[in-house]
């Protein structure tokens, strides 16, 4: 399976991505994790692209779509992703969708489905405030959480519509116990596989 997972902050994408990846025997590829690993990479063993990204991150600058696309293409070209993958955190823009389409076309593959975890915004805000309290995240207050939620809606609404128009969207209620949500996702993906 070649999959994407999308959802607002607090919807449980990271948790669900791990379970989906295990279930299908594919790597869960998080661009956030890739960037964090690059920021900690040893300069002696890092690729030229990783060194460029590390320099940009250390300067506190934005990593361009062009570089992000190159990093994703490099990661999807690795052996463990040959039979499938689950992308988390990419694509985030229409330009990245086009780049991913091209990467997949060049490898003779295409996406099987795009999982969209959906959840009531107020429920997610409550979930994130509770997590912030438990983990001592002072920067996670209601105002910043709601701003991130709104940014997600504004940036991804068009992408969700695009994937829905392509018949790839598997919308899933993201609220509930982890196992309940995982079962809903698998049921949605089973319907895709049966097409």
- Residue 8, judged by CB atoms within 10 A of its CB (0-12, 13-18, 19+), counts as buried
Catalytic hit among 18, 54, 127, 148: 148
Give the model confidence (pLDDT) of 30-76 as tens digits: 988 888 888 777 777 778 888 888 888 778 777 888 999 999 999 99
Give the model confidence (pLDDT) of 103-144 as tens digits: 999 999 999 999 999 998 899 888 889 888 888 777 778 888
Measured over the CA atoms of residue 83, residue 111, residue 74 and residue 19, the dihedral's sign is: negative
- Residue 155 catalytic? no
Give this prediction's pTM: 0.87
According to the model, what pLDDT value does residue 76 have? 95
- Residue 127 catalytic? no
Instruction: Identify any residues that bridge with 36 across adjacent strands, giving them in sequence order.
Output: none
- The residue that leads in pLDDT, 50 or 163, is 163
Catalytic hit among 54, 92, 127, 146: 92
According to the model, what pLDDT value does residue 185 have? 96
Q: Indicate the domain borders of the chain.
A: 2-193
According to the model, what pLDDT value does residue 111 have? 96
- Residue 148 catalytic? yes
- Residue 166 catalytic? no
What value, to the nearest 5°, has the Cα angle with vertex 172 and ends 169 and 175?
150
C-alpha 50/C-alpha 35 separation (Å) is 9
Catalytic hit among 131, 155, 161, 191: 131
According to the model, what pLDDT value does residue 141 have? 83
Instruction: Identify any residues that bridge with 173 across adjacent strands, giving them in sequence order.
Output: 118
CATH of domain 2-193: 3.40.50.300
According to the model, what pLDDT value does residue 18 have? 93
Catalytic hit among 54, 137, 146, 186: 137
**Residue 91 preceded by cis peptide, ω within 30:** yes
């Amino acid at each position: 399976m070649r999959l994407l997972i999308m959802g607002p902050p607090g919807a449980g994408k990271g948790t669900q991505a791990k379970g989906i990846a295990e279930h299908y025997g594919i790597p869960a590829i998080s661009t956030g994790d890739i960037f964090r690993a690059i920021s900690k990479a040893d300069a002696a063993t890092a690729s030229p692209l990783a060194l460029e990204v590390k320099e940009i991150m250390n300067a506190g600058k934005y990593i361009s779509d062009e570089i992000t696309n190159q990093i994703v293409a490099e990661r999807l070209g690795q052996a463990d992703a040959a039979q499938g993958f689950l992308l988390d955190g990419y694509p985030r823009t229409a330009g990245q969708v086009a780049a991913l389409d091209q990467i997949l076309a060049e490898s003779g593959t295409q996406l099987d489905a795009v999982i969209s975890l959906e959840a009531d915004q107020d429920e997610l805000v409550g979930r994130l405030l509770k997590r912030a309290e438990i983990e001592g995240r002072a920067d996670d207050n209601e105002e910043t959480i709601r701003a991130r939620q709104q940014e997600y809606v504004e940036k991804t609404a068009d992408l969700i519509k695009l994937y829905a128009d392509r018949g790839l969207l598997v919308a899933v209620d993201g609220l509930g116990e982890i196992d309940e949500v995982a079962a809903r996702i698998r049921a949605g993906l089973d319907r895709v596989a049966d097409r």
